[in-house]
Amino acid sequence: MINTYKYVRNDIEDTYGILQLQDKILEIMVYIDEFCRSHNITYYLMGGSALGAMRHGGFIPWDDDMDIFMDYENFNRFAVACETDLDTDRFYYQAMNTKELPYFFAKLRMNGTAYLEEVHKGRDVHQGIFIDIMCLTNAAPEGLKRKIQYYAAGLLRAKAVTQTNYHADSKKKAIEMAVARAVVRGPIKKLLMKEVFKYNKNPSDDQAHVFCKTKYTNSFYPTSYFGEPRYVPFEKVKLAVPSNVEDYLRISYGDDYMEMPSEETKAMYQSHVAQWDVNKSYEELINQTA
C-alpha cells in the first residue's frame, strides 16, 4: 500500500494565500510518484513545475497547480494501472477526451477536496484538487508534416474548450473556437487525432507537446532531453524532472529562466482556480456557494 504523505508549511509567510493548496497538490504528487515507481512508469515535472523545482527548489510561490509529462507509452500504461490499482477512496482518475474531460490530457484528482474553475461552472464533473498529466507524443519530421501535427492538435484543443464554459478573450480565439465547433466532429476529429498520434508507432528524435497553449517553437524537444529522470529537491521531497531539464527549460522559457520575473510579469499571472478548499468536497463547496 502506498503511504499517505502530508506536508504542511506553517513556518513561512503565506504571501499569495495558497500554501494550503500547494501542500495538498504536493500530497497528490507524492502519491503519483510512488504509484509510478511501483508500476515502473516514468514521469517528469514539466512547465512551471519543472521551473519551480530548479529555480525555487519547489513551487513557484504564486503557482496554484502542478503539471507532469509522460510519453505516449507511459501515459497509456498509467491509465491502465489506474483502472485496477488506484486508491479510489482517495483519488479519481479523469481520463482525457471524454464528455467529462474533453481535453487531451488527464487529471488525477483528490476526493474530498475542491478546486472550482469557471470553465467547469455548472458542469457535472469531478472538481477536486488535481495534478495535470500531459501526454508527450513522438514528433512528426520537421517541415510540413510537423506543422500539420501542431495545427491538428490546435484544432482539437479549440474543439475541446467549446465543450466547457470557456469564453474566448480575443477575436482570434473566438474565430478558432467557432471553426472547431463546426468542423471538428466525427471523421474529421478522427483524422486530426491520427495526424497527432500516428508517429508513436516508431522511434522519433523529437517529442511533441502540442495540446497546451504553446507557440510552435516551444512545442518540440529532443527525445534525448528526457530519458532516465533526475530526482531533484522539491520542497521537502524529491521529484522527477527530465534528464536534461536545463535545456528543456531554455526552450520553454529562454536562456534567462533562472532569473526572477519582474513584478509586472508576476501581475500578468492568471490564477487557474476560482475557489478551493482542502477540507471540503467540491460538491459541498458548490452547494455552499449556490
- CB-CB contact of 74 with 260 (8 Å): no
Return the pLDDT at 231: 98
pLDDT tens track for 88-114: 999 999 999 999 999 999 999 999 999
- CB-CB contact of 154 with 183 (8 Å): no
CA angle 48, 269, 96 (to 5 degrees): 55
- CB-CB contact of 235 with 26 (8 Å): yes
Return the pLDDT at 271: 74
- CB-CB contact of 22 with 63 (8 Å): yes
78 grid coordinates? 498509467
pLDDT tens track for 138-187: 999 999 999 999 999 999 999 999 999 999 989 989 999 999 999 999 99
The Cβ-side half-sphere exposure at 50, using a 13 Å CA radius, reads 25
Is residue 246 pLDDT above 90, yes or no? yes
Is residue 244 pLDDT above 60, yes or no? yes
User: Strands of 130-135's sheet, edge to edge?
Assistant: 44-45, 67-70, 130-135, 106-110, 91-94
pLDDT tens track for 128-146: 999 999 999 999 999 999 9
Q: What is the pTM of this model?
A: 0.95
- What share of the chain has pLDDT > 70, as a percent? 97
Q: Which amino acid is at 52?
A: G
Is residue 268 pLDDT above 70, yes or no? no
pLDDT confidence band for 270 (50 / 70 / 90): low
Long-range contacts of 183-187 (CB under 8 A, 24+ apart): 183/155, 184/155, 184/156, 184/158, 184/159, 185/159
274 grid coordinates? 476560482
